């Protein structure tokens, strides 16, 4: 942090000051009603400056279409607010609204069947699809400095490294209008975002244990199955897994 203001902590707020249940002409709640860690109280200048970016020509239209798409994912009937479409349709409809023609699919080899199905679905809606698997380039993990013991299948196996930089650069080269991520690993997705010049969206993140639904562990974190997530006496072990710490010594 480079100033004396507290870290923003929207996660501990109910959001009723920035997202009030109000009509368009109703007075808004005063910002002072928000918690002292509210960014609207502490970072006014950044909020004001950030908002100006929406008025850049290409950004404004992109943001406008994204918000229209958001609204079209709901409907209100006599029973109240309901959701309408799954994320696959949301991505298809958003890409269509933006006038995109060529989409890039950056996928994990573990989800190659899903990638094929997805490409066919997008093509059936009229898009051109470029797809690139994470193992493209087949560079051995040793080229990153990994030792045999740090590979999945051990020293004797030829394991191609995940290659998100080349995935991104190939999609850049093919001038895709939108890159869609499917199941890239943590960290590999980070590099992809860093190197991809096209706008990016994520269709699905990888969760090897929970059917690519990482929030399942969160929803079960109050149960014995995953309450280890909330233990305060564990820290990341540098060689993998957890190490127990004496939290009284840290205080």
The residues that touch ligand SF4, with contacts defined as CB under 6 A, are: 10, 13, 15, 17-18, 34-35, 38-40
Integer Cα distance of 146 and 191 in angstroms: 18
Least Cβ distance, residue 41 to ligand SF4 (angstroms): 7
Nearer to ligand SF4, 38 or 168 (CB): 38
Least Cβ distance, residue 28 to ligand SF4 (angstroms): 11
CA R_g for the chain: 22
The residue with tokens 């066919």 is: 120
**What SS3 state is found at 163?**
coil
Least Cβ distance, residue 9 to ligand SF4 (angstroms): 7
The neighbour count for residue 93, using CB atoms within 10 Å, is: 17
Least Cβ distance, residue 248 to ligand SF4 (angstroms): 31
Q: Which of 94, 150, 164, 143 is nearest to 122 (CA)?
A: 94
Return phi, psi of residue 154, to 5°: 90, 175
Nearer to ligand SF4, 16 or 67 (CB): 16
Nearer to ligand SF4, 28 or 229 (CB): 28
Nearer to ligand SF4, 43 or 226 (CB): 43
Structure tokens at 218: 């969160």
Q: Which of 159, 98, 116, 161 is nearest to 134 (CA)?
A: 161
Integer Cα distance of 117 and 189 in angstroms: 21
Nearer to ligand SF4, 36 or 227 (CB): 36
Return phi, psi of residue 59, to 5°: -70, -40
Least Cβ distance, residue 121 to ligand SF4 (angstroms): 36
Nearer to ligand SF4, 39 or 110 (CB): 39
Least Cβ distance, residue 57 to ligand SF4 (angstroms): 28
Nearer to ligand SF4, 15 or 99 (CB): 15
Q: What does the DSSP assignment read for 177-222?
A: SEEEEESPPTTHHHHHHHH--S-EEEEE---TTTTT-THHHHHTTT
The neighbour count for residue 20, using CB atoms within 10 Å, is: 13
Least Cβ distance, residue 81 to ligand SF4 (angstroms): 20
């Amino acid at each position: 942090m480079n100033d004396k203001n507290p870290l923003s902590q929207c996660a501990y707020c109910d959001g009723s000051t920035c997202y009030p249940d109000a009509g368009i002409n109703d007075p808004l709640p005063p910002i002072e009603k928000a918690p002292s860690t509210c960014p609207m109280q502490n970072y006014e200048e950044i909020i004001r400056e950030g908002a100006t970016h929406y008025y850049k020509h290409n950004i404004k239209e992109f943001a406008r279409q994204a918000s229209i798409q958001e609204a079209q994912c709901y409907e209100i009937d006599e029973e109240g607010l309901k959701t309408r479409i799954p994320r696959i349709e949301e991505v298809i409809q958003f890409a269509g609204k933006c006038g995109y023609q060529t989409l890039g699919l950056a996928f994990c080899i573990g989800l190659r069947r899903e990638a094929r199905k997805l490409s066919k679905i997008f093509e059936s809606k009229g898009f051109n699809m470029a797809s690139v698997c994470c193992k493209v380039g087949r560079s051995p993990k040793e080229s990153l400095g990994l030792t045999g013991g740090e590979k999945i299948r051990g020293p004797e196996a030829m394991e191609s490294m995940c290659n998100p930089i080349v995935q991104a650069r190939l999609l850049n080269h093919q001038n895709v209008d939108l890159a869609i991520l499917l199941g890239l690993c943590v960290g590999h997705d980070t590099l992809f975002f860093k190197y991809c010049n096209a706008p990016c969206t994520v269709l699905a993140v990888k969760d090897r244990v929970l059917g690519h639904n990482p929030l399942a562990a969160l929803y079960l974190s109050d149960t014995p199955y995953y309450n280890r997530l909330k233990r305060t006496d564990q820290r990341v072990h540098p060689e993998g897994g957890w190490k127990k710490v004496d939290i009284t010594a840290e205080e």
